[in-house]
Structure formats: structure tokens, C-alpha cells
Chain A
């Protein structure tokens, strides 16, 4: 059955169609949630809350945007809310506009991205680096760069202007690049 048909059936209360929609998106939602939370239990909890919102609100879904966009919006909001209710974390401040770009001599890295899938130490480095990034910036980086959602859609999901998305993206990319570079320790000062 096509997704639009599944949505229409789900709106009429058909549990089987709802379960099919859940099955279709559960991996995407869980994976994205993990990428923001960096914790498996929280990611599962967020996934459950996200789909609970879907079940409760499917009748209000008008189809103006894709269902995946709607789900990304709900996951992002859940994760951001969770981050705000937690005790204050020492996130990196981006008040200094120039702090994100450090004009050193840049060298290429010898570690390649294909190692990210299996290298535990590298995964920890990626987790630790992104954990320092404020969740508001993290969400923009993950939506735009990692999930490949357009700048305009990212702006809609995050309720930001397009220039604000670009600005956060610029800072997040530069920050993460610098963090990884420090650990790879290949740059000359």
C-alpha cells in the first residue's frame, strides 16, 4: 500500500496501517534520535514518544509536508526539550564569531571516514566531540549535513530562518572539524 493510502487508513483508526507506518520509519527515527542524544535508552524513549505523537495526531496530519519531515520535527523537539530539562551542560559558546575558524596550517587527515562504522575509539571521539556542541546547533548539523535535508526544510523543522540555519551550520561544521582535528593531532601550529 502507498504511504498516502496508509495515512488515510490510519486516520480512520486502522491499527494495521499505523503499525506499517511505524515499521517504515522506526529505524530512521531511532537512528536520528540516537545521533542527537548519543544514548541508546534515551533514543528509544524519544522514538516511542515520537510515534505516540504520530498515533495521537495522525488525524491532524494534512500532508502539506512529507511524513518524514513531520517526524524529524517531532524527534528534534523531543530531544531539544530533553536537553533543556537536564542540568546545565558545558556546551561550547559561539559568541565569538571568529572562534570557529582557527587559521592554522591545515593538513589532510590520514584517518578516513569509512572507519567510522567499525572503530570503537573513533565512535567515542565522534560522540565526545558532538556532545560538546549545543543541541540547537547539533540538530541543524544532523538534519542538513547528515540526513541530507535541504536548508529550507531544515529551517522549517527547526523553526528558524534560512540565514539562521546557514549560520548555525557554519559554526557547527567548523567546530566539529576543529574538534576532530585536535584529536587526530595532525595540524601544525
Chain B
């Protein structure tokens, strides 16, 4: 297997590109190994994941009366 020289910037770019997807290429294996030994990159990885989670957790409820207004707007009242 070709040896991959990994620097933090490669890791960050790769994390951003592939977060949440399968990481099984030789380059990914090298990146995983780097991640395990580099606090800087694992912090970066964690904060990118947290960023996504912040936005996932921020949800809004349908405002009061919005359903009724929508049904009326569409002419679907019974």
C-alpha cells in the first residue's frame, strides 16, 4: 500500500468532504491513524460535527394558526 504523508490540512479538507460517509480508502485509513494521534485534527473534527449538530437541533414549530391559513390559502377547506 502506498504510504500517505498526511498533514493536518489534508485531514481537515478530507473531513469536510467526507464527514458522515464511508471512510475506507487507503488515504482514509492514513487519515484515521493521523486523527487518533493528533489533538488538533480531532478537535477540528469534533467541532465540525458539533457545528452540524447545532443546526440539526435548532428547529421551529409551525406557528399557531398556520395550518388553518394554509388550508384556506389552498382552497382545501371542507
Residues of chain A whose beta carbon lies under 8 Å from any beta carbon of chain B: 15-16, 18-19, 22-23, 26-27, 30-31, 34-35, 40, 43-44, 47-48, 51-52, 55, 100-101, 103, 105-109, 112-114, 116-117, 122-123, 126, 130, 141-142, 145-146, 151, 166, 169-171, 173-174, 176-177, 180-181
- B76: chain A residues at CB < 8 Å are 15, 18-19, 22, 55
Q: Is the interface of A mostly helix, strand, loop or mixed?
A: helix
Q: CA–CA, A92 to B76, complex, Å?
A: 42
Whether, in the assembled complex, B78 has its beta carbon less than 8 Å from a beta carbon of chain A, the answer is yes
Count, chain B residues at interface, CB 8 A: 40
Residues of chain B whose beta carbon lies under 8 Å from any beta carbon of chain A: 8-9, 12-13, 16-17, 19-21, 40-41, 43-44, 46-48, 50-63, 66-67, 69-71, 73-76, 78
- B54: chain A residues at CB < 8 Å are 113, 116, 122, 126, 180
- B51: chain A residues at CB < 8 Å are 173, 176-177, 180
- A169: chain B residues at CB < 8 Å are 16-17
Q: Are B17 and A177 in contact (CB under 8 A)?
A: no
Q: Are B43 and A106 in contact (CB under 8 A)?
A: yes
